[in-house]
Amino acid sequence: MAAQALSLLREVSRLEAPLEELRALQSVLQSVPLSELREQAAELRLGPLFSLLNENHREQTTLCVSILERLLQALEPVHMARNLRVDLQRGLTHPNDSVKILTLSQVGRIVENSDAVTEILNNAELLKQIVYCIGGENLSVAKAAIKSLSRISLTQAGLEALFESNLLDDLKSVMETNDIVRYRVYELIVEISSVSPESLNYCTTSGLVTQLLRELTGEDVLVRATCIEMVTSLAYTHHGRQYLAQEGVIDQISNIIVGADSDPFSSFYLPGFVKFFGNLAIMDSPQQICERYPVFVEKVFEMTESQDPTMIGVAVDTIGILGSNVEGKQVLQKTGTRFERLLMRIGYQAKNASTELKVRCLDAISSLFYLPAEQQTDDLLRMTESWFSSLSRDPMELFRGISTQPFFELHCAALKVFTAIANQPWAQKLMFNSPGFVEYVMDRSVERDRASKDAKYELVKALANSKTIAEIFGNPNYLRLRTYLSEGPYYVKPISTTAVEGAE
């Protein structure tokens, strides 16, 4: 088959309009194993195919792209970087986006190879064309270009090529295309900055990080909303958070939240700013962040009382993040009756809001109430039990009701709540004393889809693995849980058939 493909490839190179041959070659290549093509790699002459891309013929271009996608996979990245330099450069300036995507996918292979990437770094024109691909209308092209440049920047030589040459001017020039392209460049800069303190230093020296932060704290509310997402990404790294703190950016974000009450357009950026602090708290120390920036906690509580579902959703998500570890739970506990009222509102929304917001409320409840066995103390167990009773008059009935609804997202989210509390003795007692609950847990017929079966299995596993379950549920039920666990999530009980004499 590989020999036939090579023969057709040679035929293509001799003809001016080889559509039939291209179709035949495409068909043959679909059944040629890549290993065979690699064995014949030395004989692959791809120049004619690249030349055919330059003709303004849509079907011919489509066929050539499809064939080249297959054949280029057979070539080593170093070979491509050395022998197809001109073709790759032309591909990046081709008017057809599918050609650009093909070329960038091969550039992606080259930059992943430590030997081949050097060839790219020594090709200033190719690097320039990759940068200019960020400014194109096609998002897939731009994303592929960003990915390649980000990968190139993982080495010292790559950082120098991007930030200590004319390429930086090209990057700044591309940024002027429009707002969307400017944000794409910021996305690239944040990706590079997140790698290491040294990478961040190159990016700050370029002036582009400063420009991003200036836009974040500027007057344009829509720009703020976009920029905060990128700054949040930077804050995922320790060196990124250090830099933001040193530059006073975290204080500035806090001050903007303080001033949000008097800004009629704050709803555009406030959710992103609150998310920023939520992530900051869980990555560093919830107690320190909440004590240093009390306006953050205040705003989250305030947002849960909003009439705007977007604001409520963000507040609920943030509470879930904040309360996902013990320190965060203790911070929330210190707010006393305010947090009890907040829990009551979350319980209300879990029952009455839109499906999407219900699921977010249930996810936050799961996060708040989960307490690993090794962290369970009498005080913390009393705290979670007290919180549970604040959710509604009958929380068990609330979640049972939600779990029986026909929407699998809600069903799974409610099971997740039961799973979160399943290893806590007070919750096990509630479950055991709730009429029909134990039978509901054991009943496999309730769950129809795979996700629901998985969620039920996680609940059974959490119960069965608890040290207190045998005492509270009783040995017979404990053994039933162990049997369910050993049979797996998708077990179907065999239906026994009895032969009846004389039956037809």
Burial class of residue 11 (count of CB atoms within 10 Å of its CB; 0-12, 13-18, 19+): middle
Q: With contact defined as beta carbons under 8 Å apart, do 260 and 266 qualify? A: yes
Q: What's the confidence (pLDDT) of residue 427?
A: 97
Token pair, residue 417, equals: 């709540």
Domains, the chain, with CATH or none: 116-238 (1.25.40), 248-392 (1.25.10.10), 416-485 (no CATH)
Q: What's the confidence (pLDDT) of residue 504?
A: 44
CA 141/CA 133 separation, integer angstroms: 6
Q: What's the confidence (pLDDT) of residue 501?
A: 52
pTM of the model as a whole? 0.80
Q: What's the confidence (pLDDT) of residue 9?
A: 56
Q: What's the confidence (pLDDT) of residue 11?
A: 53
Question: Sign of the C-alpha dihedral, residues 192, 194, 197, 200?
Answer: positive
pLDDT in tens, 240-261: 999 999 999 999 999 999 998 8
Q: Please give the sequence-ordered ranges of beta strands (E in DSSP) within 367-473, or none if there are none.
A: none
Tell me the H-state helices in 76-123.
77-83, 85-92, 97-111, 117-121
Question: Sign of the C-alpha dihedral, residues 373, 377, 378, 380?
Answer: negative
Q: What's the confidence (pLDDT) of residue 277?
A: 94
In this prediction, the residues of the chain whose per-residue pLDDT falls under 70 are 1-17, 40-44, 496-504
Burial class of residue 348 (count of CB atoms within 10 Å of its CB; 0-12, 13-18, 19+): middle
CA 362/CA 407 separation, integer angstroms: 14
pLDDT in tens, 304-344: 999 999 999 999 999 999 999 999 999 999 999 999 999 99
Q: What's the confidence (pLDDT) of residue 404?
A: 84
Token pair, residue 490, equals: 């998708």
Cα–Cα distances in angstroms (integers) from residue 326 to residues 322, 370, 377, 381, in the given order: 9, 9, 11, 11
